[in-house]
Structure formats: C-alpha cells, structure tokens
Amino acid sequence: MLRSRLSEIIDEPDLLWVDGGQYFGPKILSLLKYFYGVPIVLYNIDDPTGSRDACHYVQFNKAIPLYSLCVFVRQETALEALALRAKRVLVVSRSYDEVCHLQKGLTCPTHRHHQSASFIGTNIKGENRDMFLLSLIQQGCPIRIYGVRWEKSPFWTQLQSFHAGNQLIGANYVKAIKSAQACLGLLSHQNRDLITTRSLEIPACAGVFCAELSSEHQLLYENNIEALIWSDSESCALSVRGLLLDGHRRASIQKAGTSHVRAMGVGNEDICRHILSVVGQ
C-alpha cells in the first residue's frame, strides 16, 4: 500500500533529496531506503544540532545515520552530525536562487523610493531584534519591517507603524529588497549564525546590504565597498543615515556587492551541481 502511494509521487528515482528533513525520522528513512535502494541526500541550512530548536529536531538527529550524504552550511553542524554517526558530511556555502533572485525583467514601481532601511525577518524570542530596531528608530533611522511575530513584541505599539507586511516570497521579496535604500542583515546568535542566506540574497537581488559584524561577513565583503558592516545599533544607524544622504555612494556599494555575489558561483544550481558531483564519487 505504502509502496503504491510512493510510486504515485516518484517512480524509479536515481536519488532522493530531502530538503530540510525536520519531519523525517528513522522510520520514514528506513522505508525509503527499503523501497528505493538509491542514495538519499539530506540538505539542511538550519542549525539542527544546535540548542535553539533542539526540540524540533529529535527525530531528525536519530535519522542522520541513515542518509548517504548529509549536507550542511555550518562546520560545527557537520562535526556534530559525525558524532551522531553520519556516514558522510559535506559543508557548502549558503546560496541565492538564479531564477527568483535574478529577475532581470522585474520592475518595481517604488524602486528605491522608500527612503528607509528594511529588515526582512522574524521576531525571534530572546534575540532582542525588536529592541535593536526600536533603537534605530529612536536614532532617527526610517525603518520598514517585514515578517511575522512582531505583534508579540512588548514594543509592538512603538513598532506597529513601521511594520510593512508579513512573510515575503517570490517577486514580492525581491521587490521589497529593490525598493529599499538598504537592507539590514541581522544574525541569530541562538542559531550560531555568522552569516545567513540573506547575506547572499540581498546583494543578488540588487539590494544594498548592511551586515551585522561577524568573521564571515568580514571575509565575504569588503566593508564600505561591497557592503556596510556594523557592530552595534549606533554604528548601524550612522551607516544607514549616511546612505540615505549619499545616493552615489549607495549606488556604488550596491553595484559592487551585486557583482561580487553573482561572480562567486554560489547560486542554488551551482551548489546542487557540487553536491551531486560529491554523491557520485
């Protein structure tokens, strides 16, 4: 019965690719291995072995030994997966999407007309993102916030008028980045972030990236040339206000950052080709 239902989804695959894998425990993986007998690749860009979301990844971690290859974006995740008896691990770069994020024909009626910096992301408990953004506002920085759970913030009454929408996907996501004077890149310290997917997506979408200081952001971008890197709310506010007053500098940083990312070979298709080449070894 189960084999019949699975065959309706996919018939005689060469490989099974599990994206995320949060809901795949050892029973499901064992069935897939039994029915298909082909390599099963796990691709996960979160922090499944970290502490922040540990309760969501209990079954996930039990299934790690059953994958043919486990692909992560953090070196520490790969090492912890090996401790959980992973057969093979691979660490890859985060990536942007060559189709969605490089929509050359996409026009934005409000292109660069929002005289503000945008933050696109979730209000995560314990990360104090609400306090940070409120501090920017109090320092005179116009801010637009997109994302969910912001109404749960104790500062919602002060932030509500700056909240421009909930989750953005596809063309709306690209438009929000293109229409902003700058886009903030905040890290999740509970998630052991030194870089995020938006660290690549924002410049790929022709946005101006204002990045929280980290070793990986410093390695990835030349500060004040390809991106702006700040260490606290005061330096972030200073950077944002400066960009709003200097359109030529803003355009120069955007052009350099976009060119840099698009030349790196870190599109989704690039990363997938690399993973598949490793599977075949």
Reply yes or no on whether the pLDDT at 247 is more than 50.
yes
Q: What letter would DSSP give residue 182? A: E
Q: What letter would DSSP give residue 242? A: H
Tell me the C-alpha to C-alpha distance, in Å, between residue 152 and each of 148, 156, 262.
Answer: 9, 7, 37
CA distance 5 to 1: 6
CA distance 276 to 105: 31
- pLDDT on residue 106: 54
- pLDDT on residue 51: 86
- pLDDT on residue 61: 96
Predicted TM-score (pTM) of this structure: 0.91
- pLDDT on residue 65: 98
Going by pLDDT thresholds of 50, 70 and 90, the confidence category of residue 8 is low
- pLDDT on residue 232: 98
Reply yes or no on whether the pLDDT at 258 is more than 90.
yes
> Is 66 in a helix, a strand, or coil?
helix
Q: What letter would DSSP give residue 103? A: -
Overall average pLDDT of the 118-143 stretch = 97
Q: Each residue of 25-51: pLDDT tens digit?
A: 999 999 999 989 999 999 999 999 988
At residue 38, φ and ψ (nearest 5 deg) are: -120, 165
Q: Each residue of 62-105: pLDDT tens digit?
A: 999 999 999 999 999 999 999 999 999 999 999 999 999 987 65
Strand ranges (DSSP E) for the chain? Answer: 16-19, 40-43, 69-72, 89-91, 114-120, 143-146, 163-165, 180-185, 209-212, 228-230
Domains of the chain: 2-91 (no CATH), 114-262 (3.40.50.2000)
Overall average pLDDT of the 252-264 stretch = 97
Going by pLDDT thresholds of 50, 70 and 90, the confidence category of residue 2 is low
Reply yes or no on whether the pLDDT at 110 is more than 80.
no
Q: Each residue of 193-205: pLDDT tens digit?
A: 999 999 999 999 9
- pLDDT on residue 10: 65
- pLDDT on residue 281: 78
Reply yes or no on whether the pLDDT at 7 is more than 80.
no
Nearest CA to 144 out of 170, 169, 174, 166 is that of: 166
Q: What is the largest CA-CA distance in the chain?
A: 65
Reply yes or no on whether the pLDDT at 191 is more than 70.
yes
Nearest CA to 48 out of 25, 72, 28 is that of: 72
- pLDDT on residue 55: 87
- pLDDT on residue 12: 82
Overall average pLDDT of the 176-199 stretch = 95
Overall average pLDDT of the 6-16 stretch = 76
